[in-house]
């Protein structure tokens, strides 16, 4: 008998039930009608690093939670939507989740397989068993009862409603691929794919490939194509800061964080730019103009992350990767750029990033913007909303940001949990039964 079924039985018959429901995924499979479950602790949406970190910090404090995940595994972004050669961009010490460091024998920049391994061990260590194949379609605060109603749909269309006091949004800044409108792209005869679908350059051997976008993904995919004997070109639409991944024998990120303790951001930026210039020369001379504002200041103001070079720049310098300005239009086999040049390509890869999906399911306007699905308040204030609503992983600060958020959220919820959980579980248990 699954625990959920058990819960159902208890909910109907035992008004004093206040156990943590730990639904077994299989239970959800063959029901056509909406079922309603009262969850005594928080409901966390998303089983990526942020959702896992939140669940672990809560568990550590003795607060039970339930994690809902649309995919069939944890960290689906990493398992299904990233290229093979991906490694963490930042050293492991800046990417570990709370309460459990990376294994010592992991390299400084763990591979994606290693990162997934770590996350699996993490989930196991804290006994986190997400309910998989549960896509949250809406979450709304019900004023009349003072609780969140979180509705999800399973693979076979079966609907569930989770009723809870606290809702933790952990669906990520990268929930959906961002695909820009490009004139004529639908008529292109070659392959067009987003980096979310790109695995390796091996299938592009000998092909001319246009990579659109020069963030970390675009730069790395271009390098990967080069290494697999394809002929990549990179579209660079805007100014971009490219920094070496390491400087003076330390990670650029670590060095920057250290310097920021002592010096103002403008000075640290100047220092980073001088070192970059010594290492790379003038990046503008090979098509990569730098923004007016320095890399760290820009990150703070707009969230735009500097690119940490892992070898792409050398290939751009050597001419193995060509650089083009924005696309004017796309033809059957060719692409015309805004400078008037026309070139033929076999494939186009869109390294155009991702966006949050909260506007599609979170029925709430105070905390999250409907425009970009991100919290209105900038870091460090974006983690908490009204009525028991929280966000983990929306600070544009990568995994480090997820950890900070998870700790804050768990501490905050814990305060309320201690004060009211038992009382709540008992009284609410009385008013919610299952439908039909």
Ligand X SMILES: Cc1cc2nc3c(=O)[nH]c(=O)nc-3n(C[C@H](O)[C@H](O)[C@H](O)COP(=O)(O)OP(=O)(O)OC[C@H]3O[C@@H](n4cnc5c(N)ncnc54)[C@H](O)[C@@H]3O)c2cc1C
Q: Which residues bind ligand X (CB under 6 A)?
A: 45-51, 68-71, 75-77, 82, 86, 88-90, 95, 135-136, 170-172, 174-175, 217, 357, 361, 393, 398-400, 402
Give the residue among 286, 211, 208 at the shortest CA–CA distance from 242: 286
Q: Are 323 and 288 in contact (CB under 8 A)?
A: yes
Least gap, CB of 401 to ligand X (angstroms): 8
Of the two residues 296 and 428, which places its CB atom closer to ligand X in the complex?
296
Q: What is the largest CA-CA distance in the chain?
A: 74
Which tokens belong to 33? 């009608």
Which tokens belong to 76? 């689906």
Which tokens belong to 90? 């930042």
Least gap, CB of 10 to ligand X (angstroms): 26
Which tokens belong to 69? 């995940």
Q: Are 196 and 177 in contact (CB under 8 A)?
A: yes
Of the two residues 78 and 432, which places its CB atom closer to ligand X in the complex?
78
Least gap, CB of 9 to ligand X (angstroms): 27
Q: Are 48 and 89 in contact (CB under 8 A)?
A: no
> What CA–CA distance (Å, rounded) separates 391 from 402?
9
DSSP letter string, 43-74: EEE--SHHHHHHHHHHHHTT---EEE-SSSSS
Residues 6+ apart with CB under 8 A from 395: 379, 380, 382, 383, 401, 402, 404, 405
Of the two residues 21 and 429, which places its CB atom closer to ligand X in the complex?
21
Cis peptide before 380 (omega within 30 of 0): yes
Of the two residues 95 and 226, which places its CB atom closer to ligand X in the complex?
95
Of the two residues 208 and 252, which places its CB atom closer to ligand X in the complex?
252
Least gap, CB of 392 to ligand X (angstroms): 7
Residue whose entry in the numeric block shows the structure tokens 């460091």: 101
Of the two residues 45 and 185, which places its CB atom closer to ligand X in the complex?
45
Residue whose entry in the numeric block shows the structure tokens 């330390």: 250
CB closest to ligand X, residue no: 48
Of the two residues 86 and 230, which places its CB atom closer to ligand X in the complex?
86
Dihedral class, residue 75 (left if φ above 0, else alpha if ψ from -120 to 50, else beta): left
Pairing of strands 347-350, 208-212: parallel
> What CA–CA distance (Å, rounded) separates 324 from 222?
13
Least gap, CB of 20 to ligand X (angstroms): 20
Of the two residues 89 and 241, which places its CB atom closer to ligand X in the complex?
89
Sign of the CA dihedral running 75, 79, 81, 87: positive
Least gap, CB of 210 to ligand X (angstroms): 19
Rounded to 5°, angle at Cα 359 from 436 and 237: 150
Of the two residues 8 and 173, which places its CB atom closer to ligand X in the complex?
173
Pairing of strands 167-169, 43-45: parallel
Least gap, CB of 80 to ligand X (angstroms): 9
Distance of CA 307 to the CA centre of its chain: 17
Of the two residues 25 and 190, which places its CB atom closer to ligand X in the complex?
25
Least gap, CB of 178 to ligand X (angstroms): 11
Q: Are 38 and 428 in contact (CB under 8 A)?
A: yes
Least gap, CB of 319 to ligand X (angstroms): 26
Least gap, CB of 154 to ligand X (angstroms): 11
């Amino acid at each position: 008998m699954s625990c959920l079924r058990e819960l159902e039985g208890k909910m109907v018959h035992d008004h004093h039930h206040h156990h943590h429901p730990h639904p077994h995924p299989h239970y959800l499979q063959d029901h056509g009608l909406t079922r309603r479950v009262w969850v005594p602790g928080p409901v966390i949406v998303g089983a990526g690093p942020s959702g896992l970190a939140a669940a672990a910090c809560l568990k550590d404090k003795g607060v039970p939670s339930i994690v809902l995940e649309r995919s069939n595994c944890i960290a689906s972004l990493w398992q299904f939507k990233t290229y093979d050669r991906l490694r963490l961009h930042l050293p492991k010490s800046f990417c570990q989740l709370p309460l459990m460091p990376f294994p010592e024998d992991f390299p400084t920049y763990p591979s994606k397989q290693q990162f997934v391994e770590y996350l699996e061990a993490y989930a196991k260590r804290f006994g986190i068993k997400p309910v998989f194949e549960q896509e949250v379609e809406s979450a709304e605060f019900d004023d009349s009862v003072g609780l969140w109603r979180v509705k999800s749909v399973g693979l076979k269309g079966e609907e569930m409603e989770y009723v809870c006091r606290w809702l933790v949004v952990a669906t990520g800044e990268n929930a959906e691929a961002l695909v820009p409108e490009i004139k004529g792209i639908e008529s292109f005869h070659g392959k067009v794919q987003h980096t979310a679908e790109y695995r390796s350059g091996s299938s592009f051997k000998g092909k001319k490939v246009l990579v659109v976008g020069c963030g970390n993904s675009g730069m790395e995919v271009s390098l990967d194509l080069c290494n697999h004997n394809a002929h990549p070109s990179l579209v660079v639409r805007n100014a971009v800061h490219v920094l070496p991944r390491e400087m003076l024998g330390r990670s650029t990120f670590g060095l920057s964080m250290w310097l920021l303790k002592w010096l103002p951001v403008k000075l640290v930026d100047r220092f980073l730019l001088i070192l970059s210039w010594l290492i790379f020369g003038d990046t503008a001379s090979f098509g990569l103009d730098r923004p007016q504002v320095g890399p760290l200041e820009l990150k703070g103001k707009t969230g735009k992350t500097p690119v940490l070079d892992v070898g792409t720049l050398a290939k751009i310098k050597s001419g193995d990767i060509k650089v083009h300005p924005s696309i004017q239009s796309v033809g059957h086999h060719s692409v015309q750029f805004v400078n008037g040049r026309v070139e033929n390509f076999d494939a186009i890869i869109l390294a155009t990033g991702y966006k949050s999906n909260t506007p599609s399911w979170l029925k709430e306007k105070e905390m999250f913007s409907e425009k970009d699905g991100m919290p209105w308040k900038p870091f460090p204030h974006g983690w908490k909303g009204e009525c028991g609503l929280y966000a983990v992983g929306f600070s544009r600060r990568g995994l480090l940001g997820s950890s900070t958020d998870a700790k804050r959220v768990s501490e905050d919820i814990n305060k309320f949990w201690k004060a009211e959980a038992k009382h709540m579980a008992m009284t609410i248990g009385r008013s919610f039964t299952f439908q039909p």
